[in-house]
Amino acid sequence: MNDSDYHLHVIAFDVPYPANYGGVIDVFYRVKALSEAGVKVHLHCFEYGRGHAEVLDRCHEVKYYKRDTSFWKQLRREPYVVASRRSEALAQDLLKDEYPILCEGLHTTAILGDLRFKNRKIFVRAHNVEHDYYRFLAESEPTCWKRWFYRMESRKQKRYEPILQRAAGIFAITQADTDYFNAHYGKTVLVPGFSALSRVCSETGRGDYVLYHGKLSVPENKKAAEWLVEQVFSELNIPCVVAGLNPPDSLRKLCERYPRVSLKANLGDAEMIDLIRNAQVNVMVTDQPTGLKLKLLNALYNGRFCLVNDDMVRGTDLGQLCVVAETPEQFINEIKRLMKEDFTEDDIEERNEALKDLYQNEKNAQLIVNTVFLTPHS
């Protein structure tokens, strides 16, 4: 088979542009890298609010399907993230040829249970161990009914997950996830996260503020931001910035209580990159040791010092490039120390050396090509 014969269906759980939150960053830049590697990507997007994106027309083919978010989908035995993306229109489009299929996350794997696809080569990109991710979401959620929903969804996903046995292969995003999926289902390949950059673009010198950024409507990120504002930023005599998409009113009001804390909402891609690059310290915390936090990868490629807790880097090899703290006192002391240090060319070179082998879009796209098109599958 020549490169020109490589056709691949990619089923995206959301429209992957703009690439402004973790999951779609990985999808968008992987599709881009696969296209540049000569793969004719047939992109199928579930749309529920982000609209159509002209930039995706660079793919060989792009199709959109309405995600069914009606309440009754939550009552199904299968996970809501799967049931709401079950689409006969998608199935009919996929059945028009025999090309291999890449499902993005457990969310888009309904076709694995469809007998019409029993002889198709279907691969799954695992962004997390999803039932663990939703269990942690439940622990972070203050609202009772949402906490109940996340717990039920976690149980459904754990029960549903063995459907991955029917996949031709799994592409995991971290070593810890690779070990998990290999132990349960085998045929798992580590393919690290894709991002916008292939070389570190951090600024040397010093910035004059501290930054936390994330998709602030996500319970995990909202909880992290609140913890940082109340326990860390409130004790610092330097500017502190919280930035991200769709912050809830409660977080806005919390930031307003502290004169040195500012909230920047719904910035464009260029504005967010500038904010990350000009910060002296990018602070990131999580209580979910699942998957790869792509915002950390973004900060390592674009920002100066990265200060994280252990859960932020667990299961990855990125801890060596960060300063790790756990308690509020440790975060406060490390920020005070880092605010006095210059970020140097040596720091940039150290990052480049550490990141170039694992997090290289071209190389990782070729790994997918080799696995999908050049490796025999039973």
Q: What is the pTM of this model?
A: 0.83
**Taking all residues of the chain, what is their mean pLDDT, rounded to a whole number?**
93
**Residues 193, 195: Cα–Cα separation, whole Å:** 7
Q: In a 3-state reduction of DSSP, which class is residue 167?
A: coil
Tokens coding 292:
């790869």
Confidence of residue 1 (pLDDT cuts 50, 70, 90): very low
- Residue 31: name the closest of 47, 2, 53, 49 by CA: 53
Mean pLDDT of 109-126: 97
**Residues 284, 290: Cα–Cα separation, whole Å:** 14
- Strands 281-284 and 323-324, sheet pairing: unpaired
Element (H, E) at 124: strand 122-126
Tokens coding 164:
């991955």
Residue 290 in this model has a pLDDT that exceeds 80:
no
Residue 8 in this model has a pLDDT that exceeds 70:
yes
**Residues 276, 265: Cα–Cα separation, whole Å:** 14
Tokens coding 156:
């459904």
Complete edge-to-edge strand list for the sheet that includes strand 240-245 = 261-265, 240-245, 210-215, 281-284, 305-308, 323-324
DSSP-derived secondary structure letter, 192: P
Summarised one tens digit per residue, pLDDT across range 25-38 is 899 999 999 999 99
**Residues 38, 3: Cα–Cα separation, whole Å:** 6
Mean pLDDT of 321-345: 97
Mean pLDDT of 164-170: 97
- Residue 307: name the closest of 339, 260, 346 by CA: 339
**Residues 319, 197: Cα–Cα separation, whole Å:** 19
Mean pLDDT of 346-375: 91
Summarised one tens digit per residue, pLDDT across range 173-232 is 988 899 999 999 999 999 998 988 778 999 999 999 999 999 898 888 999 999 999 999
Which tops the pLDDT comparison, 23 or 309? 309
Residue 2 in this model has a pLDDT that exceeds 80:
no
Residue 158 in this model has a pLDDT that exceeds 60:
yes
Which tops the pLDDT comparison, 76 or 89? 89
Secondary structure, 3-state, 187-224: CEEECCCCCCCCCCCCCCECCCCEEEEEECCCHHHHHH
Residue 115 in this model has a pLDDT that exceeds 80:
yes
Residue 100 in this model has a pLDDT that exceeds 70:
yes
The number of C-alpha atoms within 13 Å of 115 and in the hemisphere containing its C-beta is: 0
Q: How many CB atoms lie within 10 A of CB 344?
A: 13
Residue 349 in this model has a pLDDT that exceeds 90:
yes
The type of residue at 269 is D
Element (H, E) at 356: helix 345-358
Residue 58 in this model has a pLDDT that exceeds 80:
yes
User: E-assigned strands of 266-377?
Assistant: 281-284, 305-308, 323-324
**In the chain, what percentage of residues exceed pLDDT 70?**
98
**Count of helix runs (H) and strand runs (E) in the chain:** 14, 13
pLDDT of residue 148: 94
**Residues 113, 116: Cα–Cα separation, whole Å:** 9
